[in-house]
């Protein structure tokens, strides 16, 4: 099975650990001796109850979450969270600060503005094509929250140090770097992450919310758009995305038991990123488009001397077993997404291919 698989550098849906895929395959027809597939068991059954509880408990252990935090599973991806967050936490009397670091931050800002919520864009890196993370930001002390995107998949930037907001709760879209490194959870009021990059397949969004944030949720919202609904019903108000949650639980198990936890995962991820960036920086052929201090450990974006060469590079790479290297359609270029399941071996093999291509075409 492994011999037939390519080196997958897709930005999302992205690679999953082979061990996880194998366990899913082995249990797909008869899950836990239930006589049913995991996609057939009732979400009210003991089998699924064990699955979702396992996912919650592993999340809490990996992130060192205490009793102040709830772990929820919602549908609609991060895009739904863009609208739910201002809907749940902003009213006529308060406002929020947003930091714009690219496409996904821009979308989050738009969804707040659609609702006519009061927000202030306190910092932006648009002046340099979102190639860096802003520093020395002046936040409003009376803001209801500060919204950031921890990692930008399209522009290839990442917050290396989260901002000091002087007690204002930080809300972070961590879709593309959750569980990739150790973080100080205390400063966050809410963390949300579409699973399809680092922790599972598409179809579920993990939401980690501090319980005091739930006190801000108004009564007049539709049930499915209130965080309190999911907290009170333990993500089981309606039928959740059962299979996606099952896969998330297995990926978290893999991080915790096979990889050795987040400290080890972070060490591996930094090694992968350094390997790729070091080669790009020492090459006269490939060029990073991101300022050094802001470079993502998850999404390495780069350009070649011409668009024609980029097209050929992507084509030749696929023929040699390297997939997903095309940059986002909005920016072009090339991108290697090196999320948790992408091995050092795969990144090393990519660098070797890049050297061959440079020697041939440079």
Residues acting as catalytic residues: 104, 173, 197
Describe the crossing of helices 18-27 and 242-253 by its angle, rounded to 10 degrees.
Answer: 130
Nearest residue to 279 (alpha-carbon basis) of 219, 355, 217: 355
**Residue written as tokens 């009061």?**
118
Q: In what helix (H) or strand (E) does residue 344 lie, and over which residues does it extend?
A: helix 344-361
- What is the rounded distance in angstroms from the CA atom of residue 209 to the CA atom of residue 189? 6
Instruction: Give the CA distances from residue 44 to residues 126, 225, 235, in Å, rounded to whole numbers and listed in that order.
Output: 47, 22, 12
As a whole number of angstroms, the distance between CA 350 and CA 317 comes to 8
Identify which of 76, 22, 23 has the alpha carbon closest to the alpha carbon of residue 51.
23
Sign of CA dihedral 310, 107, 205, 269: positive
8 Å CB contact between 165 and 147: no
| Dist. CA 37–CA 60, nearest whole Å | 27
**Cα(235)–Cα(55) distance, rounded to whole angstroms?**
12
How far apart, in whole angstroms, are the C-alpha atoms of residue 59 and residue 353? 36
Tokens 């930080």 correspond to: 170
């Amino acid at each position: 099975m492994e011999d037939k698989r390519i080196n997958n550098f897709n930005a999302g849906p992205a690679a999953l650990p082979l061990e996880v895929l194998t366990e899913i395959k082995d249990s797909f027809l008869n899950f836990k001796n239930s006589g049913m597939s995991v996609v057939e068991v009732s979400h009210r059954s003991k089998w699924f109850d064990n699955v979702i509880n396992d996912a919650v408990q592993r999340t809490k252990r990996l992130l060192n979450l205490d009793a102040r935090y709830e772990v929820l599973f919602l549908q609609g991806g991060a895009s739904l969270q863009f609208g739910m967050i201002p809907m749940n936490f902003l009213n006529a009397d308060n406002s929020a600060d947003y930091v714009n670091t690219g496409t996904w931050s821009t979308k989050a800002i738009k969804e707040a503005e659609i609702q006519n919520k009061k927000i202030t864009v306190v910092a932006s890196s648009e002046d340099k094509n979102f190639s860096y993370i802003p520093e020395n930001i002046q936040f409003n002390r009376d803001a209801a929250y500060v919204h950031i995107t921890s990692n930008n998949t399209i522009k290839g930037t990442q917050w290396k140090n989260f901002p000091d907001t002087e007690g204002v709760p930080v809300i972070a879209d961590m879709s593309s770097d959750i569980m990739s490194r150790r973080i100080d959870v205390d400063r966050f009021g809410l963390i949300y992450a579409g699973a399809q990059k680092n922790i599972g397949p598409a179809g579920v969004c993990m939401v980690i919310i501090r319980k005091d944030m739930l006190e801000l949720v108004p009564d007049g919202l539709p049930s499915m758009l209130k965080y309190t609904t999911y907290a009170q019903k333990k993500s089981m108000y309606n039928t959740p995305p059962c299979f996606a949650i099952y896969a998330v639980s297995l990926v978290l198990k893999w991080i915790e038991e096979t990889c050795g936890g987040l400290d080890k995962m972070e060490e591996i991820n930094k090694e992968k990123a350094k390997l790729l960036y070091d080669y790009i920086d020492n090459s006269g052929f490939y060029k990073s488009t991101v300022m050094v201090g802001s470079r993502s450990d998850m999404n390495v974006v780069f350009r070649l001397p011409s668009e024609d060469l980029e097209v050929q590079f992507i084509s030749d790479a696929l023929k040699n077993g390297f997939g997903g290297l095309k940059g986002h359609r909005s920016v072009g270029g090339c991108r290697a997404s090196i999320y948790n399941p992408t091995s050092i071996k795969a990144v090393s093999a990519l660098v070797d291919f890049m050297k061959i291509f440079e020697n041939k075409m440079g």
